[in-house]
Amino acid sequence: MNKLVSFLVAVLIIVSGTVVADVFASRMKVTNPDGTPFDGKVNDGSGAKIWYYLNDTATTVVVKIVETGTNTVVATINASEQGRSTNPNTVTWDGTGAVSEKKYYYTITTTGFVYSDTKYHSFYFQNTTDVPPLITRGIYTRGVDINNTMNSPGFGYWYASCADPSSNDGYKQGTLRYNPDGSFAGTEQNHPMLSQTLGMDNGGTFNWGGSPAPWTSAVDSKGRIYQVSNSGNFVTRMDNDSAVPKIIISNITAPRGIYPVGEDANLVLYIAADTVVWRAPIGMSDTLTAPLELVGSFGLFARDVVIDDAGKMFVTLRTGELTAPGYIERYDISGTLPIKRTDAITSIASPLGLPVCFEIKHGSDLNSATDDTIYYAVRRASGTDTTTFGIHEITTFDGAFPEVKQIYKNSDHPLSLGGNNRQDADIALDWAGNIVWFENANEEIVMIATPRSTPTVTLTTQGPDLISLAIVASTEREDRALTDFTLHQNFPNPFNPSTMISYILPSDARVSVVVYDLLGNVVNELYNGNAQQGYNAVLWNTSNRNGGKVASGMYLYRVSAVMNDGRSCTDTKRMLLLK
């Protein structure tokens, strides 16, 4: 599976309150405010609406509109707490600061509290058999991976393989797609299934080569999705989410794990198949034209494979389908191939369990493996084993004593049925480093936050598309943007369920934005902090200071600013909430 998880530098700040996971925005797009395709106009009273998904709750969200030629921030929009319950979330840029025929990109910065500084913590749980009305059986998953390429339209999507073709009351045989918060994102209504991938036994057209298939999902740096057919002996690729799977490699015996390395012409697939690992220099081709290269032959079943930042290969090995012991082994594959088990640099035995799948978190130095972390899942082979099964991590690879520890097991979430992890389970990392575990014994999906040493994490992502403007007429508020403090009328007004309060600052300032009722009582303080020169905005979702929703009626909003040069400005306007 593709484990090329890229990370932006996180800005760490100290606050207190509710704990959430490492939160980030993905699945971003721009439309007109009514959801129709963006028409390039922002000064016609409509503006541009920016949509995004959050994988968990963010205490603050800041959206910045940036001119591409100069990297100048022309608008800053502040939103209060948002999260999975309001997905997809939105903010609207009303066009202040826009210039005719310019192009703009947008960034979304999210801040969230962390769960723990010492332990891995599950913050999301889904029982896949309890999804009426269409689904009454579990997912029968055999693989999951996540699109972590930020400039890809599919950034944030999860892709899972489902191998059960026996009837239509389950998840069906084919490719499943999920939003970054675990909600369904299939092309079938109330279902995660991508319809064009349906197996023939479920009324589809693609021949997955029998059962169990497909097995494993992997996403490369272009956002293309790979899967293997363990029984059909082939590898497939979908070039985009609406494409039909196509067979790119045939006649490969019992493939199970797949891992893309490189990109474009240098793309290579490593494939764990039967008792060996193959290397396929596929590049951008639709079919493999060069011969498969035998990387390693082990005499044991190879379930999965990954490559670390030093170019070393990790494999999970099993003595039999359900027979312990199993092994995690690391190999240098830069010399003469194929390698064999006696060439292992490191071998970690699992005497009671079977290692089944990998995930790798690449550190900031992509030329060194010293800051990499390997995650793997283990299936219990002994009925008396209560400590081995679940998810493990390796943080030190070299030497005779690698550092290995169990970090999570099924029963760590209170809603889990507990018990064992199966040999078909899989794990993936999202862009922020949260673990997504498709557990195959109880058919459960769990999201797990990694421990952090600071109370909060702030992460920034960038939208994959540009906001390209048509001819935009000059407006008075653009001319005054750098000379006067201006408080705009909220938009929309009247409103329900949210409205944007925007203002212009002549210089950087300390700003507070407060909503009052008509008696002068404070309803909610929406923002209190630093704001940049130019256009700024704050979203109000009609919540009060206690998190509840306010009643219909007239409200006041006041923006007070103390400029860096000592000047102070305050203005107040009315707004009407209609429910």
> If you average pLDDT over residues 122-135, what whole number do you get?
77
> If you average pLDDT over residues 433-448, what whole number do you get?
88
Cα–Cα distance measured from residue 230 to residue 274, given in angstroms and rounded to the nearest whole number: 9
pLDDT for 469 beyond 50: yes
Mean predicted lDDT score pLDDT of the chain: 86
Position 210 scores a pLDDT of 80
Greatest CA separation for the chain: 81
> pLDDT band for position 274 (50/70/90)?
very high
Q: What is the pLDDT of residues 67-114, one digit of tens each?
A: 988 888 999 998 888 998 899 999 988 887 888 888 999 999 999 998
User: What is the DSSP secondary structure assignment for residue 455, as one 8-state letter?
Assistant: S
Give DSSP secondary structure letters for 12-58.
-----S-------EEEEEEE-TTSSBP-S--SSS--EEEEEEESS-B
| H/E segment holding residue 105 | strand 103-113
CA distances from 365 to 47, 261, 496 (A): 41, 16, 48
Position 6 scores a pLDDT of 32
> If you average pLDDT over residues 432-442, what whole number do you get?
88
**Domains observed in the chain:** 25-115+458-577 (2.60.40.1220), 121-450 (2.120.10.30)
CB proximity list for 228: less than 8 A, separation 6 or greater: 213, 214, 215, 216, 234, 235, 236, 255, 256, 257, 258, 271
Which of 388-397, 436-445, 465-474 is the least confident region? 465-474
Q: What is the pLDDT of residues 170-203, one digit of tens each?
A: 678 899 999 999 999 999 877 899 999 998 878 8
3-state SS record for 462-520: ECCCCEECCCCCCCHHHHCCCCCCEECCCECCCECCCEEEEEEECCCEEEEEEEECCCC
pLDDT for 30 beyond 80: yes
Cα–Cα distance measured from residue 236 to residue 254, given in angstroms and rounded to the nearest whole number: 14
> pLDDT band for position 4 (50/70/90)?
very low
User: What is the DSSP secondary structure assignment for residue 117, as one 8-state letter?
Assistant: S
Position 45 scores a pLDDT of 63
* 172 φ/ψ angles, rounded to the nearest 5 degrees: 70, 160
The one-letter amino acid code at 120 reads Y
CA distances from 382 to 35, 353, 393, 440, 485 (A): 54, 7, 21, 17, 71
Which of 45-59, 445-459, 481-495, 554-568 is the least confident region? 481-495
* 24 φ/ψ angles, rounded to the nearest 5 degrees: -150, 160
Position 132 scores a pLDDT of 66
> pLDDT band for position 366 (50/70/90)?
confident
**More confident site: 506 or 18:** 506
Q: What is the pLDDT of residues 498-524, one digit of tens each?
A: 888 988 888 889 999 999 998 888 999
Q: What is the pLDDT of residues 478-487, one digit of tens each?
A: 444 456 788 8
> If you average pLDDT over residues 41-62, what whole number do you get?
87
The pair of structure tokens assigned to 247 is 């067979």
* Residue with tokens 């190879």, as numbered in its chain: 302
pLDDT for 316 beyond 90: yes
Beta pairing partners, 175: 161
pLDDT for 14 beyond 90: no
**Closest by Cα among 285, 316, 323 to 298:** 316
Most confident of 461-475, 480-494, 495-509: 495-509
Which of 223-227, 228-232, 533-537 is the least confident region? 533-537
Residue 223 Cα to chain centre, angstroms: 13
> pLDDT band for position 167 (50/70/90)?
low
Question: Would you say how long the chain is, in residues?
Answer: 579
Position 474 scores a pLDDT of 43
**Closest by Cα among 25, 27, 24, 51 to 38:** 51
pLDDT for 546 beyond 90: no
pLDDT for 133 beyond 70: no
The pair of structure tokens assigned to 371 is 């800051």
Position 480 scores a pLDDT of 40
